[in-house]
């Protein structure tokens, strides 16, 4: 039995995967995640979340999934007057892969996943947003989540 692999085709598909982004929305802001940073897109029932009341209000809690504990962090800016953002019945989370070492395994809560776009589409949308007054698409930066949120208050 002869098994051959087309290395050129596999390299091309890997390259196209690496040049894709997962497009999400949080409030009025569109946020993209490099596809290789996304381990999983999760739907979580509110009843599954274990609240962590002594942590930063951006830490919504943790959820047990596939034998592990996943911390959930909201990307939505909470109202300074409120303790915690209002939680819907079902939440959508982007669980980050091992490539985002400092946040590996963390679930980031988004309002919705819109789809995926290529690097070229992202560049075109950013250019169009710059030319108009439309809100720009933000590329998620792990540094935007302060390490201090993991410290109990």
H/E run at residue 96: strand 90-96
Q: What is the pLDDT along the chain (153 residues), one digit of tens a residue?
A: 444 444 444 444 545 556 899 999 998 899 999 999 999 999 999 999 999 989 998 999 999 998 999 999 998 764 444 445 567 799 999 999 999 988 999 999 999 999 999 999 888 877 777 666 666 889 999 999 999 999 988
Residue with tokens 């590996």: 104
State how beta strands 107-110 and 90-96 pair: antiparallel
> Which pLDDT does position 15 carry in this prediction?
52
What pTM was estimated for this model as a whole? Answer: 0.80
In angstroms, the CA 140 to CA 37 distance is: 10
Tens digit of pLDDT for each residue in 18-56? 689 999 999 889 999 999 999 999 999 999 999 998 999
């Amino acid at each position: 039995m002869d098994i051959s692999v087309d290395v050129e085709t596999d390299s091309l598909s890997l390259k196209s995967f690496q040049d894709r982004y997962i497009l999400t929305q949080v409030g009025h802001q569109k946020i993209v995640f490099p596809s290789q940073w996304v381990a999983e897109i999760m739907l979580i029932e509110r009843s599954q979340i274990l609240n962590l009341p002594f942590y930063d209000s951006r830490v919504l809690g943790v959820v047990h999934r596939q034998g592990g504990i996943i911390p959930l962090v909201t990307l939505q800016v909470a109202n300074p007057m409120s303790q915690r953002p209002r939680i819907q019945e079902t939440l959508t989370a982007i669980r980050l892969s091992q490539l985002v070492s400092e946040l590996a395994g963390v679930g980031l809560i988004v309002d919705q996943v819109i789809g995926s776009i290529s690097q070229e589409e992202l560049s075109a949308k950013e250019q169009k947003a710059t030319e108009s007054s439309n809100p720009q698409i933000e590329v998620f930066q792990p540094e935007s989540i302060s390490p201090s949120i993991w410290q109990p208050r």
